[in-house]
Amino acid sequence: MVLAACGDALGARFEGREAADPTEIDDWMRRSTQAMRFTDDTSSTLVLADHLTRRRGTINEDDLAEQLAREWARDPDRGYGHGAAQLYAEIVAGTPWRQAAADMFDGQGSYGNGAAMRVAPVGLLPGLALDAVAGRARRTAVISHQHPEALDGAVAQAVATALAALSIQDTPLDADRVVAAICEHMQTAEFRTALRRLPALVARGATSADVAGEVGNGVAALQAVPAALAAFLRNPDDVPAAIGFAISMGGDTDTIASMTGALCGARRAEKDLPVMWGLRLEGASRVWTAASALARLAPTEAGAPRHG
C-alpha cells in the first residue's frame, strides 16, 4: 500500500503527457527531495483499506459507497475522474449508488480504471483464496464501475496483487502462469485478450514505449491494468525500475504507477521502499498505519483460507 501511494504520487507529476523525458523522471524519482502529493488513487485506497479493516475483511456495498463519496466530498481536489466526481456528488445528494453508477455514460457504466486503482487492499487480505479475492474485488468495483471491462480490471488487479504477495521474491516470476491465473477470473474476452499479450512482451524485453504502443496507457481499465502488470512483470524485483517503467509509458501515469507499486510492494519486503520516498510521501504514516492494520487481520477473520 505504501508503494502504491508512492507510485501514485510519483506518477502524478507526469499524468497526461505522452512520453516524459527520462532524465526528468529519473531526477524526480531518485534525486528530488520535494514532497510527493498523492491523488484520488490513494485517497480511495485508504477508504477501502479502512472499510476492510473495520469489517474484518468483509464488504458492505452501501457503507463503502457512502464512505467513498464522503471522502470525495471532504477532499475533492485530488484529480478524480469526471464521472467519478459526478457519481459521488449524486450519492452524497441521496441517489442510491446502484442507480447512480448504472446511469453513468448513457447507461454503459464507467470503463475507467478507478475501481482497479483502489483495489489493492482486497488482494492483500491475509489468507484469502483467489476466488474470494476476485469475488470481493468485483463487489467493491460495482459501486462505481459497472462496465464489464472496469469490473474485470478491478478483479485482475486484485488477483495480481494476491499472486504477487504469494510469490517468492528474487525467484523468477513466470508471466505465463501469472496471466493464466488471472484470466481464470475474467468475464470479458477483451480483458483476456489484453492480458494474454503480456507474456510475449515480457519475454522479448519490451520497452515502456512498446508496451504503451501495444497495450495502451489510457484511463480505461482495459489499458491501464495490463500496462501496470507489464511494468511489474518486466521488473519484478527492482521497485524503482518498475515504477520508472510505468511512468515512462506516459498517459495515466499516476494510476498505472500506483497499480505497479501495489504489485511490487506485495512481492517485495519493506526494505525495498526507498527511504527518501517514505520521507517525501504526503501522509506516509497514515498509509503505514492503514496497511499495518490490514496486515494484522487474522486469516480466519479475513475470510476463507487459501485452500477453501
Contact residues toward ligand AR6 (CB under 6 A) are 39-41, 79-84, 105, 108, 110-114, 117, 147, 219, 252, 254-255
CB of 117 to ligand AR6, least distance (A): 6
H helix and E strand count, the chain: 20, 0
Q: What would the grid cell of residue 91 be? A: 450519492
Q: Which of 36, 38, 40, 175 binds Mg ion (CB under 5 A)?
A: 40
- 10 Å CB burial of residue 43 (0-12, 13-18, 19+) is buried
How many angstroms separate the CA atoms of 111 and 219, rounded?
8
If binding means CB under 5 A, how many residues of this protein chain bind Mg ion? 5
Rg (CA), the chain: 17
Which residue number, 80 or 232, has a Cβ lying nearer to ligand AR6?
80
With CB cut-offs between 5 and 8 Å by kind, which of Mg ion, ligand AR6, none does residue 108 bind?
ligand AR6
Among 50, 71, 152, 254, binds Mg ion (CB under 5 A): 254
Q: How far is the CB of 82 from ligand AR6 (least distance, A)?
A: 4
Q: Which of 7, 57, 79, 218 binds Mg ion (CB under 5 A)?
A: 79
For residue 168, the 8-state DSSP code is: P
Tell me the backbone φ, ψ of residue 220, rounded to 5 degrees: -70, 140
By CB under 5 A, tell whether 127 contacts Mg ion. Answer: no
> In the complex with ligand AR6, which residue's Cβ is closer, 10 or 117?
117
CB atoms within 10 A of CB 42: 31
Q: How many CA atoms lie within 13 A of 241 on its CB side?
A: 9
Q: Please report where in the chains the cell 479493516 appears, as a residue.
A: 53
90 binds Mg ion (CB under 5 A): no
- How near is the Cβ of 251 to ligand AR6 at its closest, in Å? 9
> Alpha-carbon distance 84 to 145, whole Å?
9
Does position 53 interact with Mg ion (CB under 5 A)? The reply is no
Q: Is 39 in the site for Mg ion (CB under 5 A)?
A: yes
User: Of the two residues 103 and 210, which places its CB atom closer to ligand AR6 in the complex?
Assistant: 103
Under the criterion CB under 5 A, does residue 71 sit at the interface with Mg ion? no
Residue length of the chain: 308
